[in-house]
Amino acid sequence: MAKNSIFYPVILAGGRGTRFWPLSRKKRAKQLLALDGKQTMIQQTVARLLPLAPVKQFWVISNEDLRPAILKQLPKLSKTQVLAEPAGRNTAPAIGLAAFLLLRENPNAVIGMFPSDHVIADEKRFRETLARGIQIAASGENIVVIGIRPTRAETGYGYIEAGSSEDGALRVRRFTEKPDAARAAEFVTAGNYLWNSGIFLWSARTLANALHEHLPKTASLLEEIAGSFGTHKFSAIFRKLYPKCENISVDYAILEPRSAKGEQAGNIFCLPADFGWNDLGSWTALHEHHSAKSKPPAGNLISSAGVCVVNAEGNYIHAPGKFVAVVGVSELIVVETDDALLITTRQQAQDVGKVVKYLDEKKLHRLT
Amino acid sequence: MAKNSIFYPVILAGGRGTRFWPLSRKKRAKQLLALDGKQTMIQQTVARLLPLAPVKQFWVISNEDLRPAILKQLPKLSKTQVLAEPAGRNTAPAIGLAAFLLLRENPNAVIGMFPSDHVIADEKRFRETLARGIQIAASGENIVVIGIRPTRAETGYGYIEAGSSEDGALRVRRFTEKPDAARAAEFVTAGNYLWNSGIFLWSARTLANALHEHLPKTASLLEEIAGSFGTHKFSAIFRKLYPKCENISVDYAILEPRSAKGEQAGNIFCLPADFGWNDLGSWTALHEHHSAKSKPPAGNLISSAGVCVVNAEGNYIHAPGKFVAVVGVSELIVVETDDALLITTRQQAQDVGKVVKYLDEKKLHRLT
């Protein structure tokens, strides 16, 4: 498929991933860490998409802090393929810029938008699902979203309400942002709700039209930026105009109003994923993911130079250079780096972002 | 008092203090650590006794692993004042050797036996108590022990059952080794039981006689060793004979049989301490000791390069070079060194010795 592919993967890699502090830092965000295996998250993201498109058709959108490390980690990509937003403007302007850039190059291009920090267990199945999605996105004004069958009443994700089925794809009835616990439980029970994976497919034309319709001012700005691409003015125009774009997600800006047109008129299709998806949203999620794979004794996942476990279970300890002794503790998360030591619990690990917020406030930049 | 003092402090510094691992090591035992203030425990022990005796009257009994560091930490002591046992033989042979050595030098010498790793809050009061004890020990065949009023039903200490009072000193009725929890509770309720501090006072003659009576074989060996002191044969004789001594504590060998003679005939006196004694028996004890002094916010005692506390209390964290973040954890003990990381709880910290046992078994000597 890769040769003469109409598929253009756009990888969004501007996130900071503060919940993986102290391992993640501004210049070494979650997607640049090897949290699962030897390759980093972004290297895995590119590697699993490479069979679907030639490498020159990849784009990465990130920021100035991360761009040098990304170029180093992805040596096959040229400098022009890795864009650094002059200011973070969420997913709508980022993917929108890609749409206007590609519209000039190949109006039939199908753009895939991908987070850069997720885990996919079955890559073959992943690519089969995408191939089907690219087909759907290539015909007409369709938008395709990959949905994940919920396994728990998670309140941290957006949900997709699915309607009728059409050739294995589900028509999307509605997008619902992060629900409270009670609604999340209802969604899971209802059976026709899926998690929003953040993976979307659409033609450059569909996306550009949708932006003009729902986000006209930002669309014009992006069109102007894209018009200067390849010229010596690009950098200056990008810096000047991009920060003027609306700071809004593609879900809010396009998918919600589009789905409001109705299940038929919206033309949004959901492909349920069955390829083992995990967004590794926290140290706890990482612990669970690795434990499921390696089934360590007593659930203690410890990376260290040596270990002594006395009456301890369910702990995640990362202290690569040290001999680690755990005595009578359970469900802890402890992460050590050259300059920092995090001590929390599996239950509280989602609050690690608060530490980074504190460090930002105190301007302790060398630690963030 | 120091000039022409009959008082000879003998400091026992052969212990390993495994419960302070990973800070304590074979060559850096608890008594060589600055756990409370800037001076190390043994430096504090010597400093608080110096007003009572000239420095040349001090003895330290330790082992080959610790002797070099002790000599470095106590530069006022000469090499001959710091003895290294060829093999650890518990307190009876150690203090017994001191008795036979001093008997030759000054038969009226009053020997004080002191652990090297305890904390004393009120040093003035401590010395007043000792001065009174030295008086009692100097007259007749009396033995003096410093007793601590129990503040909890501790099962880790020996107890002293006190009888009648005589000029502020209590006649000792019985020594009881570490009791179970129920008996410990009874002792505390009874009111006439005190903890055995491990601090004893007696004349060289009294101790030598007691050894001849209760431990005759060991007494002869020690007498022979002491007889060679100052000659070129000492080292060889010490190495050859000392390991043949019984491996027994002074409590078991002398005090228990002596007290069995009866409250009057035993001539053992207990001076209750009211000088703020703490043996810092574990990380938990150290945490409590420091917290009582410095009253840190939310009971978190954290030595680090910086700290962020989110919803955490009662933790003891030692990670001097690192920025430490604690999120949603309580009652933990975490100690980091260059090569090791200990994670335990206040409740389980007494089991840290098990880690050292494991390291010994696995011959991981660089960590012990």
For chain A, which ranges sit under pLDDT 70? 1-3
Nearest residue in chain B measured CA to CA from A323 = B340
DSSP three-state, residue A61: strand
Round to whole Å and give the CA distance between A334 and B306: 17
CA atoms of B314 and B210, how far apart (whole Å): 47
Mutation test of the interface with chain B: which of A327, A331, A338, A357, choosing the one with the most B Cβ atoms within 10 A?
A327
Phi-psi region of B4 (alpha: psi -120 to 50; beta: other; left: phi over 0): left
- pLDDT score at A3: 58
- Does the bond joining A22 to the residue before it have cis omega, within 30 degrees of 0? yes
Contact B340 A327 (CB under 8 A): no
Low-confidence ranges of chain B (pLDDT < 50): none
Token look-up 């590794």 returns A280
Question: What pLDDT is stored for residue A192 in this prediction?
Answer: 95
| Residues of each domain in chain A carrying CATH 3.90.550.10 | 7-278
Q: What is the pLDDT of residue A277?
A: 94
Is B310–A355 a contact, with Cβ atoms under 8 angstroms apart? Answer: yes
Confidence (pLDDT) at A1:
53
- Cβ distance A305 to B339 less than 8 Å, yes or no, reads yes
Q: Do B351 and A327 touch (CB under 8 A)?
A: yes
CB A258 within 8 A of CB A268: yes
Q: Which residue of A has its CA nearest to B352?
A: A327
Q: CB–CB of B108/B171 below 8 Å? A: no
Q: Which residues of B touch A (CB under 8 A)?
A: 21-22, 304-306, 308, 310-311, 315, 317, 319, 321-329, 332, 334, 336, 339-345, 347-349, 351-352, 354-355, 358-359, 364, 367
pLDDT at A131: 97
Secondary element (H or E) of residue A145: strand A143-148
Q: What is the separation, in whole angstroms, between the first and last Cα of chain B?
A: 42
Secondary structure element (H or E) that encloses residue B236, with its range: helix B234-241
Q: Supply the pTM of this predicted model.
A: 0.90
User: Can you list the pairs that B291-300 forms with residues at least 24 positions away whose Cβ atoms lie under 8 Å?
Assistant: B300/B326
Q: pLDDT tens for residues A24-41?
A: 999 999 999 999 989 999
Q: For residue B142, report the phi and psi dihedrals to the nearest 5 degrees.
A: -75, 145
Is the CA virtual torsion A170, A172, A175, A176 positive or negative? negative
pLDDT at A17: 86
Which residue of B284, B315, B323 to mutate against A (max A Cβ within 10 Å)? B323
pLDDT value of position A105: 85
Q: Which two tokens stand for residue B261?
A: 């003679």
Q: Report residue A35 as tokens.
A: 């949290």
Cis peptide before B150 (omega within 30 of 0): no
Please report the pLDDT score of residue A198 as a whole number.
Answer: 95
Q: Bridge-partner residues for B169, per DSSP? A: B166
ipTM, 2 decimals? 0.90
Q: Are strands A119-120 and A143-148 parallel, antiparallel or unpaired?
A: unpaired
* pLDDT of res. B5: 86
Query: Which of B310, B325, B344 has the CB atom closest to A327's CB atom?
Result: B344
CATH code for residues A7-278: 3.90.550.10
Question: What is residue B17's predicted lDDT score, i.e. its pLDDT?
Answer: 86
Evaluated on CA atoms A97, A102, A103, A105, the torsion sign reads positive
